[in-house]
Structure 1
């Protein structure tokens, strides 16, 4: 990774390609709003804004790259139809783009794809084929379909036209935020950040404003960190992550080269960081964002990014399954010390449970779950075990709750599995 400069031999689409893509993409994609975040601005000590691609058509930025690639197909290629493999956002982008251009689209999706993403893809007019329990199997099935039928495969990130389509966000940002200094971008396969970073670097080389570009990956899917250290794209072991939209375990070949040349820094965030960011965006910004789309904010919350100028965090998508949202919100509440789960040993006699409840009420901790049992390998015959979860108002309130129990002679132990 280098300073704000363009390599002597340009990799990927040219600035002219990107400017043409902007005109193409404008036919279908919205210019998404940029919102100021007072909370994040105070946290960082400088202005922070949010680029709301979660409010884009299809719920993510993917429509930009997909439509640009589809628009470049010849009449003969369009007549053969297109095929893609995706668990969600790319599927919807290809489906809508194909519908707008009158192209028949077949989308292969994993058998365990969330129902809202499946139905949305079908509603955009694509033929959906469920194949494979893991994405590698789904991708192989789509490739076989393309080979058998002659349909054109539309990749999610590793193609110059796709990258050029995603780069259009950079042009919007320079118009919306003239004093822009830093952009924070989620990274999966790398199509979004490679387009944005290359556009900024080429514009800077032409005399435009230099912009620092920082990428963010989930710790459990940090393929670019490993690849940059190795000096070449590498596969990393599969680890599950709530940021499933950026769970890509090998960088795109073109994207890797572009990121290596144009991106200034890449950081990672934990599962707790991502869950906390989703919760903050809901509470403070009133925005529904999927975990993958919220990792840019997660990096800010986790103190991974510093700066004194104006920073924009890109919210890359908002397509989240309601069931996953429920789990992530609960996880985010726990990660933010808004839930406290603890284990308290009580004497096995009447009134002990009521006594604990009175203490908790006295410090305004609302009980939401209780397990009271006389059975356990570590219990004395005169003891019972109380597993209790309460709602709290943050770290200071947690300490107040624990101190109140200790002052009355109890020894609460935090349940590390749930805190």
Structure 2
């Protein structure tokens, strides 16, 4: 099986390597089936988002300041990337942002602005702020440079476990899943969403990105109302399949990761594991990508 990754992902890996963790894999057997877990929730910032944010800021001309909108994890990643590079950052979040994520954004040194009750309202406010001279808006997922940065996590998987033949990944706006599809050397990407936040699943059915409702325990991380055009172009390819899981399955999967492995992840990170438990992830040696751990909860 080939382990070649596309050039943009390779270049992204070279750029961000000094600043990110090469997160570990855990091989296990669950219910008599082999499984590889990618522990990306151990990444600096507690999620994969640092990868794309760093690649975006390192790939172009250095801005005077950084602005973005986020439901939480992207904001933490951008705030941390800006701090690493010595840049001021403003992160606009909806008023419904989980307090734990808001706290982590401010702890990274960024200015936190609350605007509206939905991500789209926060994004509109952030774009206005980004019109200031020298400001750079960092997209959460609808940017090929961000997607390439997220793809570096798949490049690590195939380098460390070349026998992996499928990778299950959670989908919000689609940036991580598209990066996995680009960086996995042709392996099957299983793109998994909650039933209540399934913008990719609905877009694939419609043949184009469409608006979708947002109602899930994982909404703070996966609550995009519409999949990005850039990720959709990648995720419409033949090496991607779309799956959805229910709310009870997500919570049960999160709790099982804690009970069985002592892995404390947020609900979004448990979404692909829920699909695997339900038999929705094919492959002789599948990998489940645990994408984040920025939630305050007790098992």
Q: Give TM class, smaller chain.
A: over 0.9
Counterpart of 1:102 in structure 2 is 86
- 1:262: how far off? 5.1
Residues 1:241 and 2:216 are matched in the alignment: yes
How far apart are the structure 2 equivalents of 1:196 and 1:239?
A: 23
| CA-to-aligned-CA distance 1:168-195 (integer Å, 9 cap, x gap) | 1122111211211111111111111111
> For 1:299-358, what per-residue CA distance to the aligned partner results, in whole angstroms no more than 9, with x for missing partners?
011222233x111100010111x3xx35xx5xxxxxxxxxxxxxxxxxxxxxxxxxxxxx
Asked which structure has the greater CA Rg, the reply is 1
2:259 is equivalent to residue 283 of structure 1: yes
Partner residue in 2 for 1:20: 11
Q: 1:21 to 1:239 in 2, by over 3 A?
A: closer
- Quote the residue 2:45 is aligned against: 58
1:266 corresponds to 2:252: no
Contact 2:172/2:224 (<8 A) preserved: yes
Q: 1:33 to 1:275 in 2, by over 3 A?
A: same
Q: Deviations over 1:125-173 (max 9, x none)?
A: 1111122122221111101111245521101111011011011112211
The answer to whether the Cα contact below 8 Å between 1:198 and 1:262 also exists between their aligned partners in 2 is no
Instruction: State the partner residue of 2:180.
Output: 196
Q: What TM-score does the superposition give when structure 1 sets the normalisation length?
A: 0.68
Higher relative contact order (CA 8 A, sep 6+): 2
> What is the alpha-carbon distance in structure 2 between the residues aligned to residue 109 and residue 225 of structure 1?
25
The two structures have a TM-score, normalised by structure 2, of 0.94
**Aligned partner (choices 251, 264, 288) of residue 313 of structure 1:** 288
- Write out per-residue CA displacement over residues 45-103 of structure 1, whole angstroms, 9 at most, x where no aligned residue: 3x20100111110000000000000112313xx12x11000121100100010011111
Structure 2, gaps ≥5 residues long: none
Report the 3-state secondary structure (helix = DSSP H, G, I; strand = E; otherwise coil) of the residue aligned with 1:144. helix
Give yes or no for contact 2:9–2:182 (8 Å, CA) kept in 1. Answer: no
How many matched pairs? 296
Describe how 1:322-337 pairs up with structure 2 within 5 A. Answer: 322=296, 325-326=297-298
Contact 2:196/2:216 (<8 A) preserved: yes
Q: Which residue pairs with 1:337 in the alignment?
A: none
- Could you tell me whether the CA contact under 8 Å between 2:167 and 2:288 is conserved in 1? yes
Mapped partners of 2:116, 2:190: distance in 1:
34
- Structure 2 distance, partners of 1:154, 1:139, is 11
